[in-house]
Amino acid sequence: MDETRPATVRPLVIPEIVSLPAEIDVTNAERVGAELRAAIRPGVTVVIADMTHTSFCDSSGIRNLVLANDHAAACAAELRLAIQSDAVLRALELLGVDRMIRIYSSLGDALTNTPPRP
């Protein structure tokens, strides 16, 4: 009996989910970045930053998201962002972060890898 799987079968990916605070600024950005980087460990291929309750993210927060994404890439993992706040999304778009990190409109979309926001 052939033990190989058909090409259509993909391994189950169980992402790590890190819930982020309502506001990310200079007072907590380093901690947020450390939490995201800690979630990226051997065997984890997808980390979702759940920012669905985040309504503010300053430049120090954005910097830590980018650093976490760089760490994920170095570890052959993917960082996904679930964002509902238009203000947070706009800040990321202005800095081009939306071209570096996949952004989803809900946690469910990030979990199912539904195509990111256009």
Q: Please check whether the domain covering 16-112 is classified as CATH 2.60.120.20.
A: no
Q: Is residue 39 within 8 Å of 71, Cβ to Cβ?
A: no
Per the DSSP assignment, residues forming a β-bridge with 56 are: 23
Helix axes 29-39, 59-74, angle to 10 degrees: 20
Q: 50-62: per-residue pLDDT in tens?
A: 999 999 999 999 9
Neighbours of 69 (CB within 10 A): 23
pLDDT digits (tens, 9 = 90+) for 28-37: 999 999 999 9
